[in-house]
Structure formats: C-alpha cells, structure tokens
Structure 1
Amino acid sequence: MKNWLRKNPHVRTIRVAAADINGQARGKRVPARFADKAVEEGTRFPLSVLNLDIWGEDIDDSPLVFESGDADGVLKPTERGFVPMPWLDAPSALLPIWMYREDGRAYEGDPRHALRAVVDRYKALGLTPVVAVELEFFLIDDSGKNLQVPTSPRSGKRRKAAETMSIRALDQFDTFFTDLYDACEDMDIPADTAISEAGLGQFEINLMHGPDALRAADDAWLFKMLVKGLARRHGFAASFMAKPYEDYAGNGLHTHFSVLDQDGNNIFDDGGPKGTDAMRHAVGGCLKAMGDSTLVFAPHGNSYDRMVPGAHAPTGICWAYENRTAAIRVPSGSPKARRIEHRFAGGDVNPYLMLTAILGAALYGIENKIEPSEPITGNAYALDLPQVPNTWQSAIDAFENSDIIPQFFSAEMIRNMVLTKRQELHYMEELTPEERVEIYLDTV
C-alpha cells in the first residue's frame, strides 16, 4: 500500500474511511506524508462512529456512547488498498478501513465484518458466492424548490419524460458518463452496461460479477460515492434515494448471485432451465427471510414510498422464472450461468448489509434444505401473496423480533440497527416532506 503512494506522488491528501450502519463514509483526512502511520498502525476513532444516525448524530440510548465511555476501536486498511478520488479537485486517495476492538477481535457492529462472517461460512463449506449488482440512480437538478431533471449539456433542454433504454437520454449526458467510466477504471470498479431507466433522468449501471462478495460490496459502496461526487462536479446532483419523484418508479439495487463449489462448478446448474435443488433451497431461504430482512432492503423512511404495487418494486414474497414482477427472479440463459436475481432492495441500502442478508439467507436455505413456495406465473401484483412489511415501524419490529435474522446478523448489529432506525423514525416524523427529501438526496 505504501508503494501506491510512492508511485503517485501527486496525491497530496488521503481519506481513511469506513462504512457506517447507513453506508456513510466515516473517517479522517490525513496529509499524504503521514499516511504510512495509517497503513502500518491503523487509525482510531470511537466504536460508536459506525453506529450514527443518518444526520451523523449519536444514538441516544446506545451502550456504545456514555455507558462504555465512548471507547475507541482500531481501524485497519482493508485488502482494497488506496483508490483515487476523481470527484475531488485536489489529487486525493481513499484508504478503505474496517474496525477492530482493542484486543484484535473484529468489531461486530462493522457492516463489512458482518458480510465477511457470512462469506467465511461459505468458505468453510468449500463454497464461493459469485456476485454482481445493478445500481439505479437519478441525475437531478436540485437548485430550485422542486426537484427536476437537469438540462442536457448538449441541447440545453429538459426532457420531462421517462425514456426507458433510450440512447438519446444517455447521449444527453455523454460527458458525465464518459468521465464516470474513466473514473471507474481509475478506481478499479468494474462498471459495465449503462441504460436509461423509467424515471426522470434515471439510469442504471451494472457492475460485473466476480467471486469475491466483499469486493462486490466495496465496488457498490465506492460507486455510489463516486457517482454522487462526480455529478456535483458536473453541476447537478445524483441520488440513490429510493423514491425522489412521487409519480415515477424509484431506485432499486438488484443483486445477481450464484455459488461455486471447490472445483469451480456452479452448484445451481443442473444442465437445464430449472436449476438444482441447491438453487431451489437458496431461493427458499431468501423467501423465508425476506419479510424480516425488509429493514435491510428498505432502511429509510423514503424507502417505503417506493414499495407500492405496479411500480417495479416487489411487495409480495414470491419467486419466478424470468419474471421481473417477482421479488426473486431466476433469469433464463445458459445453464452454466444459472443464478438468482434478488430484486427487493432499494438503491438507498448499505451494500454490505444487503449482501449479508441475501447471501446469509441463501446459505441458511441451502444448509436447512428450505423448500420454497411454487414459482409464480403472470403479474405478481395481481396475486394474493404474503406481503413484506409496508411501514418503517413494522419493518423495525420484524427485524428486531425475528428468529431467522440472528442466523446471519450478530446480536450487536441487530441491536445497533434497531436503535438507529427507531431514533431516525422518531426525528423524521418532525420534518416536512421537503426536509426529508433534502436529507436523503445526498446521503443514501
């Protein structure tokens, strides 16, 4: 890692940062000449910093704050190493870090360690999850009272209509997307296809699949940071909030995954279109955990505005082959690429917690041979299906009281998540709708 800075002497400052429970980057700015200390010895800040609310405030009744004297954790670099920060004017680099206790144990309230624990369980069985994510976001002009699509840098016009898979919509912001792909290459984020989506100024970019779930979560976390920062350099905002516009579909974050055995074979591949028992059991685990995991997939007040029937966001607990109205979709195509698409999460999630919930539930299903319901056909919104919690309060309660959530989330993480979301719910109720949009637009 130190060699990276030697090879990039133009970098003058670094940021050392970890993802908190809401996926916010928390850390410090350090002059590059003092970076060796952060690499060799780590850095320190309170355990409570990874359990702040969306405003960056302490959790009022958290035992991490006054009860324990607000004790420090030790934060060490992840295996990612330094990555450039192309959205800043001054040459800068980010050093992703994760938190440990003073005695060297991983801090269980760190979202990245939550995912690492699930991945380790796969490894112990000789299995490797292969993961890819698709991230939707809006480009937004937030300079006035009302949010609107930015003017096109090419034409100077605003196109106030959905332009699903429109090449013209992509070309309107060609300079931004060119800079974005260049930045992804610099940061080693595997950005693949971009399309325009159904919302005003809404786009989706797929990140390539790979056999490292931690890296996939890192990529999604860094990508969200990059898109938001780079958009500001171009004179507008970018947002992954679940539902910025009342009359248009919201942002999703879809996850595709398969599982390899120790010989590199896809355990979901049966040579045909149906998939194996292991695939079916993984689906069963995901369906069984879906309702209680809603708080992970819809972590904010605005998340529940997205979850309405007919708005391209699943509300019924079901699965299907090649059907995008279902919460779990098994795509068609080559049997060698047989995989599961989990379509429930919003764009406002913490990617580490999202993948912990998905992969943890899938492994629970595989280990316990959970049989799913029959796959549906037709429009899921028109069927009488078990429903996920449809309010923030009910999702918090379901997460807290669940029997299955402790199978893949630690007691520490469950407690921190519940305390955080109860505090956010309380204070969000005091805000106007405009104020809620303002806080979510730039954060999530």
Structure 2
Amino acid sequence: MLDIDKYRENVEPRDVWRILKASGVKFVKFTVMDINGRPRAELMPIDPALDVFRDGMPFDGSSIPSYTTVNKSDFVAVPDNHAVYVERWNDGKIADVFMNVIDDSGKPIMRDPRNVLLSAIYELQRSGFRALMGVEVEFFIVNNSSGSPALVDDGMYFEGRNTHVLLDVAAELTAAMSESGIGETKIHHEVAPSQYEVNIPADSPIKVADNIIIYKIMARDIAKRHGYVATFMPKPFWGINGSGAHTHISIWDLDGRNLFESKNSEATPEAQSAIAGLLAAAKSISAVVAPTVNSYKRLVPHHEAPTRIAWGYGNRSAMIRIPFYGRRVNRFEYRHPDPSMNPYLAFAAELNAVMKGLSSKASPPPPVEDIAYELNAEETPRTLGEAVGELRKSPIASIDYMRDIIAAYADIKEKEWNDYESIYKWDDTWSKITEWEYTHYLSTA
C-alpha cells in the first residue's frame, strides 16, 4: 500500500521553502488535483507557506467534486516536495507545489488522482518493474474574440515560415518549459491550421503527469499574453485533425534494462505482451483516456486518430504504433488518449493494462500494415455514453486503489453525457462542433 510519509521522507520541507525564498519566489500555489484533472489551489505568501510545507494544508474536501460529502469534509493535503515548479514565464514570483491528500490518520485518500497514480507505480515496482512515459501533447492556438474559436494561422505540418504564432508564442513556450523545470523539448506546427505539438520528455509517470498540468497552465498564460487562447479541447474544428496526447511507454526492470528494447526491427515478447494488455483494455478505459463528449468527434477515420483496436509498426492509423525509423525498437506509442484526459487516472489505467498483459504473457493479434480505418476490426466506443458503459464493467473498476475513484468518475461522465444528450442527439451532431462543447471544453479541457 502507498505510504505517503515514506514517499516524502527524502526531501526536507524547510530546505525546499528556503531555496524558493532565496530564488525570489513571493507566493506559493499549493495544488490539489480534482477528478477531472483540473488543478485546485490555494495561493499564499512565501513566509507563511513554510507552515504548509511542514504540516500540510487543511481544506474543504466536499467543495472539490467527488472527494467527499459535506459531513466528512475536513481534509489535509501534504506537499510533494519532489513536485515543485517555478513559474518563470510569470517572472518567477509564483511556485507551484503539487499535493497529496490524506485523512486524519495519515492514510492516502484514494479519491485523489495523484494518490491513485502513485499506487499504480508502487504496484509496478512491487512486481519488479518501472515505467517511463513521454507524451506528445497536441493543441490549438485560436482567437476567441467572437465567442467561438477562429484559426489564427494557415500553417501545415512542420511549417517553416516564421508566422507570428510560431515566432512568438511557440518560441516562448519552448523556453518557458526549460526554465520551469519540465525539461528541454521541441515544438512544431502540426497537420491542422493553428495546431501545434509539444513533447513532454520521458520520465516517471507521476513526473510526466505533473508536467502536463504545468504545461497546460503555462500555455494558456502565454497564449493569453499574445491575445490568443491555447485550447486542449480534442476536436475544436470539424473537418481537420483533432488533438491527441500520444503516450510513449516503455517498461524497465529494476536493474535498468529496457524490456522493450529490441536488437532487431521486431517488438520484444515483453513489448508484445504489454501491447496485448493495452489493446484488451482499450474499450474499457476509453472513457478515462478520451474523457469528453468532444473526444469522440476526434475518433473518426482519416484524421490520424484511432478508430480500430489494432497495432502496427510505423502505422499512425493504428491505436498502438511501434515507432520505427530504420533503427532499434525501444517503446510503443498509444494513440488513443487526448489532452483533455486527467493524466493521473489515464496513466494509472494504462499501467494496469500493461502489467496485466505482461504478467499473463498475453499475445496480441498480428500487427497491421494496411490503413486501420478500413479494417474489419473491433472499434473504439462511438460515444462517451458507450465508453462509460464499458468503464463500469472494466476490471479497473474492481482494483482496490481505483475502485472508489472510478465509480465516482463514471457517475460524473455519465452525467456529462446525459447533459449533452438532453440538448442534442448524437446522430445529428457527431459531425459538427456544438456551442455546448465550446462552453464546456474550449478553455477548461
């Protein structure tokens, strides 16, 4: 079982506070994650923040969706001193600190998405493995002055012209990622107009999940300064590519050997078993990795988003792709997720599926070479409603550390789907983006 005190013991709270104060930080933003992957935070001056670093932050758990009921609402969040970021893009005055939620006995609350992912990592380590993940986050930079989003450039994949967005916004984002501690990375224009992709460097799943949250905050702040909106809504425009969060996964043993690294051009037996596990779970975890009504308008043929549960080498139409550029095979890319996901829940679900495949030595179907959209193969759920139905009967819904949060999550997502269906019929609107979606997802997904 996850032990928060043991996880925190390697870093002295006062040392973290002292370094932040010496570096010029004026405020600390102590952040708790909600069930949707949205950060909830308390901002306080640097001097009183020392008490929170030492003793934790009391807060009303009933005011954050699905944490608890109003009659049992006094919770404490303790800082994860491994997860501290300085907002250099905002002059370095604010530090973001991620928190883990505990009860009055110090036991981790399993409605906290960070605790759920840490538990999945712990179970992986208990089996003798660790995971590395990296994510390609696609997003749009748009103008929203008219009440609905508008494209701001006509660029294409790997656009080389120095457009205003590429020269100013994208360049500033790349520099800010390095300065904030996310790491050195790259950014490029994606296939659709106004669409960009940034690489979140490979690291432990908890670090990458935190990095995604910080990146989304950063991107919105920087885009706003330039008069734009950075949106992580999966499909803001019909007729062009939507945005994915393609997740690269490798599994290592505790001696530092990559179990997916092959000496030839074929996936290792361990990689194939992991792929089999993830494919088997694809329908049941769809609501976690593609969590919005709008997500299922991205999952349509011929826009580089998966619609068939298949895998292949270098095949971007498949759900799982083995990146292969004539060199070694060392990871796979899961193309189902999109950037509106709660990365903590999504990664926990993915790791569980991967481990199930590894432990059973499962075998995947043959890799596909053809365009997967045209195959007579099992399809992804067609709507969020279908996906929630699959999630409720999923094996992850009965895992000790996920049972509680998945039940609550399914209820929230079912309500989201029902709210949409009370206004629109899917058969009439699957090929258009509605005002309801812009209201619910454009600035918050």
Give the TM-score normalised by the residue count of structure 1.
Answer: 0.89
Aligned residue for 1:163? 156
Aligned residue for 1:126? 128
Q: Matches of residues 19-418 of structure 1 in structure 2 within 5 Å? A: 19-50=33-64, 52=65, 64-66=68-70, 69-88=71-90, 91-150=93-152, 159=153, 161-168=154-161, 172-210=165-203, 212-333=204-325, 338-407=330-399, 410-418=402-410
Per-residue CA deviations over 1:91-116 (Å, capped at 9, x if unaligned) read 22211112112211111111111111
Would you say the 8 A contact 1:86–1:183 is kept in 2? yes
Distance of 2:299 and 2:381 partners within structure 1 = 10
Distance of 1:390 and 1:122 partners within structure 2 = 31
Aligned residue for 2:429? none
Structure 2 CA distance for partners of 1:402 and 1:426, relative to 1, 3 Å: same
Distance of 1:411 and 1:321 partners within structure 2 = 34
The residue type paired with residue 406 of structure 1 is: S
Per-residue CA deviations over 1:64-117 (Å, capped at 9, x if unaligned) read 224xx1422210111334322245478222111121122111111111111111
Structure 2 CA distance for partners of 1:326 and 1:409, relative to 1, 3 Å: farther
Would you say the 8 A contact 1:270–1:276 is kept in 2? yes
Would you say the 8 A contact 2:397–2:407 is kept in 1? no
Q: Secondary structure at the match of 1:167?
A: coil
Per-residue deviation, 1:283: 0.4
Distance of 2:249 and 2:298 partners within structure 1 = 24
Distance of 2:60 and 2:361 partners within structure 1 = 41
Q: Secondary structure at the match of 2:150?
A: coil
Are 2:26 and 1:12 equivalent residues in the alignment? yes
Structure 2 CA distance for partners of 1:90 and 1:336, relative to 1, 3 Å: closer
Per-residue deviation, 1:222: 1.0
Distance of 2:63 and 2:382 partners within structure 1 = 29
Distance of 1:394 and 1:340 partners within structure 2 = 27
Per-residue CA deviations over 1:223-282 (Å, capped at 9, x if unaligned) read 111111211111110011100001211110001111111221111224211122111110
Aligned residue for 2:443? 442
Q: Secondary structure at the match of 2:82?
A: coil
Per-residue deviation, 1:162: 5.0
Q: Secondary structure at the match of 2:186?
A: strand
The residue type paired with residue 38 of structure 1 is: V
Distance of 2:328 and 2:91 partners within structure 1 = 45
Per-residue deviation, 1:288: 0.5
Q: Which runs of 5+ in 1 are unaligned?
A: 53-58, 151-158
Would you say the 8 A contact 1:12–1:31 is kept in 2? yes
The residue type paired with residue 134 of structure 1 is: E
Aligned residue for 1:2? 17
Q: Secondary structure at the match of 2:53?
A: helix
Aligned residue for 2:13? none
Larger displacement relative to structure 2 (307-316 or 40-49): 40-49
Structure 2 CA distance for partners of 1:352 and 1:421, relative to 1, 3 Å: same
Distance of 1:235 and 1:86 partners within structure 2 = 19
Per-residue deviation, 1:178: 2.5
The residue type paired with residue 301 of structure 2 is: P
**Sequence identity of aligned pairs in percent?**
28
Q: Which runs of 5+ in 2 are unaligned?
A: 1-15, 425-433
Q: Secondary structure at the match of 1:320?
A: strand
**Number of positions where the alignment pairs a residue of Structure 1 with one of Structure 2:** 421
